[in-house]
Amino acid sequence: MDPDPRFVRDDVARALREDGAAADLTAALIPDFAARAAIVCRQDAVLCGVPWVEESFCQLSPDIELEWSTAEGAGITADTTVCQLRGPARQLLQGERVALNFLQLLSATATQTRQLAQRLEAYPCMLLDTRKTLPGLRYAQKYAVQCGGGSPHRASLAEAVLIKENHWAVLPNLEAAITAARARHPHARIMVEVESLEQLRQAAQARPDIILLDNFSPTQAREARAQCPDIPLEASGSVNETNLAAYADTGVARISVGALTKNVRAIDFSMRLKRG
């Protein structure tokens, strides 16, 4: 998949402004000459963020050329040179940190997703992300999840109806709320999150499109599947790499994992520059 260039441009422009790239006091000391650079990945990973890296340098200079040796979404081993660059030294230095920040974050998201997605290969179960993303980078992180083999949950509050515990607390009637939601938004998915088997029974009577099992154990999720065989169930909360397969084995159709985007640990990339 190719990311929407509008989001990439906006993400990069915001990041370059934040970093004061155009007013780099240190790069201003560098004579105006051409240079070469190489981006190296220091650990095993899934490469993700190529469009953001290219845009980071493109916005600083049209004369910077990039040559990638690894494709977006491909696995790489430690100490692999993933990209060679050539162009004006000042602009290469101005864009270095922003480009590497996108690369380390999005590759981390894709890498973590790939690790979990591989654990689900034997099951007919979708791995989904959540809205627990870094502020301002939701589109980029959800793109990275897909590069890693995961699927996107709703991207925003405007995309689907999801009745959670705080909605339950103030809604007078769940069935009436779902009926109203279908009337107002006939093309939107209707989802209900439940915290107990009793709530599951109430939700099933209201007939949403999907029921989310919040912090159910695998044993509880299996019981929920037995009680509710005709509505897709989604396990959410308390899911990690050690118990992911146990949840998939219960028969749930979907598993959403907030850690895909909120608990990422940056992949180690570096860029080295020399006269060209």
CA distance linking residue 137 with residue 131, whole number of Å: 11
Quote the DSSP letter at residue 122: T
Q: What angle do CA 108, 109, 115 make, to 5 degrees?
A: 90
Alpha carbons within 13 A on the beta-carbon side of 71: 6
67 tagged catalytic: no
132 tagged catalytic: yes
Tokens of 173: 């009637």
164 tagged catalytic: yes
193 tagged catalytic: yes
The H helix count followed by the E strand count for the chain is: 10, 12
CA distance linking residue 133 with residue 154, whole number of Å: 12
- Residue from 72, 193, 234, 254 carrying the catalytic annotation: 193
Determine how β-strand 210-214 pairs with β-strand 233-236.
Answer: parallel
Instruction: Say how many C-beta atoms besides its own lie within 10 A of residue 79's C-beta.
Output: 10
Q: Which of 108, 106, 118 is nearest to 144 (CA)?
A: 106
CA distance linking residue 156 with residue 97, whole number of Å: 29
- Residue from 164, 207, 222, 225 carrying the catalytic annotation: 164
CA distance linking residue 236 with residue 217, whole number of Å: 10
Spatial CB neighbours of 77, under 8 Å, sequence gap ≥ 6: 44
CB distance 266 to 102 below 8 Å: no
Q: What angle do CA 235, 128, 258 make, to 5 degrees?
A: 75
97 tagged catalytic: yes
- Residue from 9, 86, 97, 262 carrying the catalytic annotation: 97
- Residue from 19, 175, 209, 214 carrying the catalytic annotation: 214
- Residue from 86, 132, 154, 182 carrying the catalytic annotation: 132
What residues act catalytically?
97, 132, 164, 193, 214
